[in-house]
Amino acid sequence: MPETHSEPHLQHHFVALEQQQEASTLGMWAFLITEIMFFGGLFTLFTAYVSAYSEAFAEGSRHLDLVLGAVNTVVLIGSSFTMAMAVRSAQLGKRKALLGFLALTTLLGCAFLGIKGIEYAHKFKQRLLPGPAFRVDSPASQHVQLFFSFYFAMTGLHALHMVVGVGLMTWLLFHGWRGRFTPTYFWPVELSGLYWHFVDIVWIFLFPVLYLVARHS
């Protein structure tokens, strides 16, 4: 396909734009697999401890703010919807819709981080931050502290991924605004979307594991 060489987005070491797109897509999926293994280590540890200290972990879980957690879940699922719409708009070449949905996604992502920040501030005030200042009125307070170690490690790591996601959205907004994305070159939007959905799914696991684990017992 010699005519594809005139394509401005084609990098020199690829033969065709198709090959470049396939490579990028496979690369993103492989990256997401590394992310699953990364979070997987923490989930494995958590599973081991939650079965050993189920009482204390349930108690720790009751200290979490279910309302804010639930609101954040809705916010994040909403952002996944707007992200999917952004990808669709890019595919169809609708620049204005693309920019609108990207902006919405960014906004929802920031809202999530803001709510998370409020939660963190509450925990800090309630002296639930692991360390020497940690105070919980409980016979198994050290195990409750272990629960909060997981809470901060897991949600913190997730929040860090959200920050990266918001950065990606800003980058997409900039290039979308300059009109770089076309129906034949939209995969940066699509792949960023994959990342966004992944971070969303991590939360879909974190929410029940951390917030709901104790609610029925």
| Residues binding other proteins (CB under 8 A) | 11-13, 15, 19, 22-23, 26-27, 30-31, 33-35, 37-42, 44-45, 48-49, 52-53, 56, 130-132, 142-143, 145-146, 149-150, 152-153
**Residue closer to other proteins, measured from CB, 60 or 79:** 60
CB of 102 to other proteins, least distance (A): 23
3-state secondary structure at position 127: coil
Residue 12 vs 96, nearer CB to other proteins: 12
C-beta of 101 vs 148, nearer to other proteins: 148
Give 93 or 130: the residue with its C-beta nearer to other proteins: 130
Minimum distance from CB of 13 to other proteins (Å)? Answer: 4
Cβ at position 196, least distance to other proteins in Å = 19
Burial of 30 (0-12, 13-18, 19+ CB in 10 A): exposed
> Dihedral of CA 17/23/28/29: which sign?
positive
| Residue whose C-alpha is closest to residue 76's, from 113, 40, 43 | 113
Which segments within the chain are labelled E, that is strand?
Answer: none
Which helix or strand (DSSP H or E) is residue 185 part of?
none
Q: Which residue has the tokens 């997981």?
A: 150
Minimum CB–partner distance for residue 174 and other proteins (Å)? 18
